[in-house]
A and B are shown apart, each in its own frame.
Chain A
Amino acid sequence: MVIPLAHRGKSLLMQRNSRSSRILAGAFALPLIGALLASCSSAGSTGSSTQDAKPVTGGTMVYASGDAEPSCLDPHVGGNYPQALVASQFLESLFTKDSEGKIIPWLAEKTEVSEDGLTRTITLHDGIKFTDGTKLTAEAIKKNIEHLKDPNTASSTGYLAVGKVVRVEVKDELTATLKLSSPDNALLESLSMPWTAIESPKALERDQATNCTSPVGTGPFKVASWEHQKAVNLVRNDDYVLPVPNDQRANSTSYLDGITWRFIPEAATRYAALQSGEVDVIDNAQPDTIASAADAGLGHLDAPRPGSANRIELNSSKAPFNDQKVREAFIRAVDANTGVGALFFGTAKRSYSLLSSVEPLGYSDEALFGTDTAKANTLLDEAGWSERDAQGYRTKNGKRLSVRFPVSTNQSVPAEQSLFEQFQAQAKAVGFEVKIDLLDLSSWYGALAKHEYNLVSAPYTKVGPSVLRVLYHSDSTVPAPSGYFANNAQVKNDKLDKLLVQAEETEDEAQRASLYEQAQKIVLEGYYVLPLYDQQNHFLYGKNVHGVGATTAVSSPIYFDTFLDQ
C-alpha cells in the first residue's frame, strides 16, 4: 500500500473552502492538514468579524489548561492526554489524519507494506530538522521506537501502540523498515498519535529527567523553559518546515511568537481568566461555561477525541451482571437522553456506538438503548430478581440487587457525576441499588484492579477502530503487572476475539469495515456497554484569537495557524 501525496493539498483546500467558516470554528475540529492549508483564506472564530481578520505575526498567546501539570513533557513517558495537548505544539508524528478521518503521511513522505504484511517501509521527507539542529533521518524512527519499547522509558500508551513492531532497520538515510510480529493495519493510526511522535535522537540520549523538561521535536514551536507549577514557555521554531507543502504557507513559521502554557486547575478561575482576557485559550471547558461563552461572543472549538465513546461498562464477570437479562434491565431502566440533554446544556450529543463519532468505522444502533422500565422489570423478574426488600430493592435468595459504581473525579466532570446520580435514582425505581463511590484516580484504579466494581466509566483515547481490540478482546481481561486491564466489561467471546484479530490483519478496507461492524454488534447486542457521548474535548478562546481549529489525529489542537489581534 503506497499513499501518494501529490496534489493532496489542493483537493483538501477545495474541500475546506466549500465549508462555511462558522461551522469550521463552531462545530468541527478540522484535522491538521485541512486547516493548515486553509489558514490564510479565513480562520474562523465565532462571534467576531473573523471572516476578514488578516493574519498578523507576533504576540504570545496564553493558554490555560485545566489538567494536572504533566510530570514529564515527553509523551513517550507514560502517555496521557495532557501531555499530548502540549506536545502537539513542539512534536510531530509520522502520520496524521485528514478532515475525513483518513490517515495520511506527515513527517513520512510515503509508506508501503510487504505482501505478507510483516514489513512496513517508511520514507521520510527530506530537509526537515529537529530544533536542536539534528536532521530528521531514518535513524530517528529507529531510535524513537526503541525509546518507546525500552522499559526504562516507562511508556504505556506509545508502548502499546508499537507493540507489534519487533525491530526497525535503517535502509538508507531517509528509509526505515519496520519488522512486525503479525500484520497490523492499525500501525499507521498508531503512528499518528502524539504518544509515538518523533523526537530528536540526539536529545533522547540525554537522561530522562532532562528530556522530560525539554523534549526536542520538529514542530512549529519549541520548549524554551518550564517553570514548574507556573508555565511551560514555548517559542516559535524559526526554522520550521511544513512537511506537506502548501501554496499559501509553504516554509512559513507560526504567526505567534510563542505560547505561555499555564495550568489553572479550577474551572471557574480558568473561565474567569478567559473572560477578563488574562488568558486567550482554555481547555476542559465545562458545559455551563460553553453555553454562556456563546452569549459572551467567545470562540468555541468542539473536538471530540478519537477511540472509544464515553460509556458505562457493565462487569460481566460477576453477579449480577453476568446475566445478560440483568445487564439489559439496567440499561433499559435509565434515561440517558433526558439527562445528557439537561446536564450538558446541549453541548454533548448522545451516542449509541462503542466508538467516537470521529471514527469512520463506528457502528451505531439506537434501537438497543431505548428506555423501557416495563421491559426492565420483566427482565429482572425473568432473571429471578423477583422479591423486594423493605427499602424497595429487588432480592434473589435473600441477596439484594446491589451494584458498585466507582467514579473517578478526575475522569468524570461534575455534569457526568450528576448524570450518574440520575441513573442511580432511575435504576432504583426498578429495584437496583447503585452504590456510587467518588474516588481519586489512584483509588479508582485500585478499585478496578481489585474487581470492586459492577459499573464503570473509563474512556480510552486511541486513533482508529483497533481500540476495540484493546477494550473487548479477552486478552485484555488479563491484568498488567500493575493490576491494570482495559476490558472492564470483561467480555470473553471467542468469536469476537477472532473478528478483532482478523480485522487488524486484513489488508482489504471493505473487509476490515465489515469485521469491525460484526465485532461491535456482538458487544452492543450483548448489553455489555451503555454508550453515552463522545469523549468531550471543548476549548474556548477570546475574541482576539483567530485561526483555531487545526488538530492532530487525537483531536489535540495545534496553534500553528493561530494569530492574535494586535
Chain B
Amino acid sequence: MNTLAWVGRKVGGALVVLWLVASAIFIAIRLIPGDPAEAIMGGPGSQASAQALAAARAEYALDQPVITQYLLYLGKLATFDFGTSYSLKQPVTQVMGEVLPNTLWLSLMALAAAWLLALCFSALAMRAGRIGSQVGNLLEIIAAAVPHFWLGAVLIMLFSSALGWLPAVDNGTGHGLVLPILTLALPLAGFLTQLMRDSLSEAMGSQFALAARARGESRLKLFWRHGLRHAALPALSLTGWAFSSLLSGAVVVEAIFARPGLGRSLLSAVLARDIPMVTGIALFSALVYIVVMAISEGIERMINPAGESR
C-alpha cells in the first residue's frame, strides 16, 4: 500500500471514529438525569420561570424532536461549531483554547519525566543484584498501579505539608509544577520500565551483547548502546497511548492541584450538565487520540517499512 492510500485510510477511519464518538456523546448526555434548559438557566435547583425555560429550550433547539436535534448537532460539528457553554456563556472553542496550553504542557512534561524516570530505573535495575532487581520490580508494579488521586494526596502530604519543600498549588514560580508532573509521571514510568525490563534482559543476554562484553565494553555502555535501543521499541510504540492516558489523568491531577486545564473544565462541565462543553472536550480528546496514534503508527512505518502488513 502506498503512503497516500495509507493516509487516506487513516483520515477516513478517523472521521468514522469521530462520528461514532459524537453519537455516543449525544446519546450518553441524554441518558443522564437533569434538564439541559435548567443547566442553561443557572444550574440545578434553578427557579427560572416557565417562560425563561421555554426561551432557553427554543434558543438551543431543545424543543425539537431528538432526530432533528441530532442532525443539527452533527451539522454544527461538521463546521467546527461547538456552540456556546451553558454555564460560562462563552464559545466552547474559546474556553478550551484558554486552558488547553496548560493541559498540553503538563502532559508533555509528564511524558518527558516518565521517560527519564523509566530510563533511570532501567539503568539502575541493570546494576542491581538479584534482590535489588526484585525490589525494583515490585516498586515498578506498585507505581504503575497507584491511582493518581491517591498518589497526588500522598505527595502533597509528604513534600508540601510535612517537609515544606514544594508548593501544593502553583504560585507562579514553576515549583508548583513539580508535584503534578510527578503524580502523572510516576505511574507511567513504572509501566514503561516494566515494558522495557523483559526486552532489556533479553537483549543483554543475547549473542551480540555477549560479543560486546568480550570486546571489553562496560555493562553501562552496553546498556546505553545496545540494550536500550532494543528495549525501547515496544515502549516507544506505546507512547501514543501513554500520552492519551496522561490527558485523562489530567482530570484528576488538575482537580487535586487546582490547576487550570481541560480536565478541570471537563469535570465542572459534567457536574453542571454543560452539554456543549462536555461534547467539545470529549471530541477534542478523541481527536488527539486519533492523531497521536496515527503519528506513532507513521513513525513505526518509517522505521520498519518491511513490517507493513496493513
Which of the segments A197-205, A258-266, A304-312, A385-393 contacts the partner chain?
Answer: A258-266
With A208-B89, A268-B156, A273-B167 in contact, is A68–B268 under 8 Å at CB? Answer: yes
Are B52 and A484 in contact, with the CB atoms below 8 A? no
Beyond A482-B35, A482-B38, A482-B41, is A154–B169 a contact (Cβ under 8 Å)? no
Inter-chain CA distance A443–B255, complex, in Å, is: 21
Nearest A residue to B259, CB-CB: A229
CB of A120 to closest CB in B, whole Å: 23
Tell whether, in the assembled complex, residue A262 and residue B258 are in contact, meaning their CB atoms are under 8 Å apart. yes
Closest chain A residue to B149 by CB distance?
A266
- Given A77-B42, A228-B260, also A154-B52 (CB < 8 A): yes
Bound Cα distance A266, B153 (Å): 9
Contacting residues, chain A, for B33 (C-beta < 8 A)? 442-443, 446-447
The CB with the most chain A CB atoms within 10 A, among B43, B171, B260, is that of: B43
In the complex, the answer to whether B46 meets A266 with C-beta atoms within 8 Å is no
Smallest beta-carbon distance B88→chain A, Å: 5
Decide: B168 and A273 in contact? CB cutoff 8 A: yes
Interface contact B46-A482, CB-CB below 8 Å: yes
Taking CB atoms, residues of chain A closer than 8 Å to B268 are 68-69
What's the least CB distance linking A449 to chain B, in Å? 9
Of the candidates B89, B95, B260, B272, which one forms a contact with A230 in the assembled complex, judged by CB atoms under 8 Å apart? B260
In the complex, the answer to whether A264 meets B258 with C-beta atoms within 8 Å is: yes
User: Which residue of B is nearest A68, CB measured?
Assistant: B268
Q: Are A268 and B157 in contact (CB under 8 A)?
A: yes
Q: Once the chains are docked, how many angstroms separate the CA of A301 from the CA of B161?
A: 22
Is there a chain B Cβ closer than 8 Å to A279's Cβ?
Answer: yes
| Residues on A with beta carbons closer than 8 Å to the beta carbon of B245 | none
Interface size class of chain A, counting residues whose CB lies under 8 Å from the partner chain: 35 or more
CB distance from B85 to the nearest CB of A (A): 8
Contact A480 B52, beta carbon cutoff 8 Å: no
Q: Please indicate which of the listed interface residues A263, A265, A268, A442 has the most CB atoms of chain B within 10 Å of its own CB.
A: A442
Closest to A271 in B: B161
Check B44–A272 contact: CB distance below 8 A.
no
CB neighbours of B171 from chain A (8 A): 278
Query: Which of A152, A156, A444 is B47 in contact with, Cβ under 8 Å?
Result: A156
B50 touches A275 (CB 8 A): no
Q: Which residue of A lies closest to B153 (CB)?
A: A268
Name B48's contact: one of A154, A208, A229, A443 (CB within 8 Å): A154
Report yes or no: A212 in contact with B49, Cβ–Cβ below 8 A. no
Residues B88 and A152 in contact, CB atoms below 8 Å apart: no
Does A276 sit at the interface, judged by CB under 8 A?
yes
Contacts of A208 in B (CB 8 A): 89
Q: Which of A68, A160, A208 has the most CB of B within 10 A?
A: A68
For residue A296, give the distance in angstroms from its CB to the closest CB of chain B: 10
B205 at the interface (CB under 8 A from A): no
Q: Does B53 contact A (CB under 8 A)?
A: yes
A227 at the interface (CB under 8 A from B): yes
Do A229 and B260 touch across chains, with their CB atoms under 8 A apart?
Answer: yes
C-alpha gap A564/B255 in the complex (Å): 28
Residues of B within 8 A of A273 (CB): 160, 167-169
Which B residues lie within 8 Å of A71 (CB)? 43, 87-89, 272
Return the CB mask of A169-212 against B: 1 if under 8 Å, else 0.
00000000000000000000000000000000000000011001
- Flag whether B90 is at the interface (Cβ < 8 A): yes
Chain A CB count within 10 A is highest, among B39, B42, B87, B171, for B42
- Min CB distance B209 to A, Å, is 47
A384 at the interface (CB under 8 A from B): no
Tell me, in angstroms, the Cα distance from A272 to B171 when the chains sit together: 13
In the assembled complex, B112 has its CB within 8 A of some CB on chain A: no
Flag if B164 contacts A276 (CB, 8 Å). yes
For residue B129, CB closer than 8 A to chain A, the reply is no
By beta carbon, the residue of chain B nearest A264 is B258
Q: With A and B bound together, what is the CA distance between A440 and B33 in angstroms?
A: 11
Interface residues of A in 430-489 (CB under 8 A from B): 440-447, 480-484
**A526 CB-CB contact with B under 8 Å:** no
Which of chain A's residues 239-288 have a Cβ closer than 8 Å to chain B? Answer: 262-266, 268-269, 271-273, 275-276, 278-279
Please determine whether B51 and A151 come into contact, CB atoms closer than 8 angstroms: yes
Most buried by A among B32, B44, B95: B44
CB of B122 closer than 8 Å to a CB of A: no
Contacts A275-B161, A481-B53: A265 and B255 contacting too (C-beta < 8 A)? yes
Does residue B198 face the partner (Cβ distance < 8 Å to A)?
no
Instruction: Assess whether B256 is interfacial by the CB under 8 Å rule.
Output: yes
A58 in the interface (beta carbon within 8 A): no
Contact B255 A151 (CB under 8 A): no
Quote the shortest CB–CB distance from A111 to chain B (angstroms): 27
CB distance from B67 to the nearest CB of A (A): 24
- For residue B264, which residue of chain A has the nearest CB? A229
Give the distance in Å from the alpha carbon of A250 to the alpha carbon of B52 in the complex.
45
Q: Decide if B34 is an interface residue (CB 8 Å cutoff).
A: yes
Contacts of A442 in B (CB 8 A): 32-34, 39, 43-44, 271-273
Candidates A78, A262, A272, A480; contact of B160 at CB < 8 Å: A272
Q: Mark B73-102, 1 if CB is under 8 A from A, else 0.
A: 000000000000001111000010011000
Of B32, B255, B258, chain A has the most CB atoms within 10 Å of the CB of B258
B258 touching A263 by the CB < 8 A rule?
yes
Q: Does B265 contact A (CB under 8 A)?
A: yes
Q: Does B257 contact A (CB under 8 A)?
A: yes
> Per a CB cutoff under 8 Å, which of A156, A228, A268, A440 touches B271?
A440
Residues of A within 8 A of B264 (CB): 229
Give the nearest-CB partner of B34 in chain A. Answer: A442
Q: Which residues from chain B contact A78 at a C-beta distance below 8 Å? A: 42-43, 46
Q: Mark B268-294, 1 if CB is under 8 A from A, else 0.
A: 100111000000000000000000000
Nearest 3 Cβ contacts at the A-B interface:
A229-B260, A78-B42, A481-B50
- 6 of the cross-chain contacts (CB-CB < 8 Å) are A156-B42, A269-B256, A273-B167, A275-B160, A279-B169, A447-B33
Q: List 11 additional A-B contacts (Cβ < 8 Å) besides A152-B52, A443-B33.
A: A71-B89, A77-B42, A156-B42, A156-B46, A208-B89, A276-B168, A279-B169, A480-B46, A481-B49, A482-B48, A484-B45
Binding site for A on B (CB under 8 A): 32-35, 37-39, 41-53, 55, 87-90, 95, 98-99, 153, 156-157, 160-161, 164, 167-169, 171, 255-261, 264-265, 268, 271-273
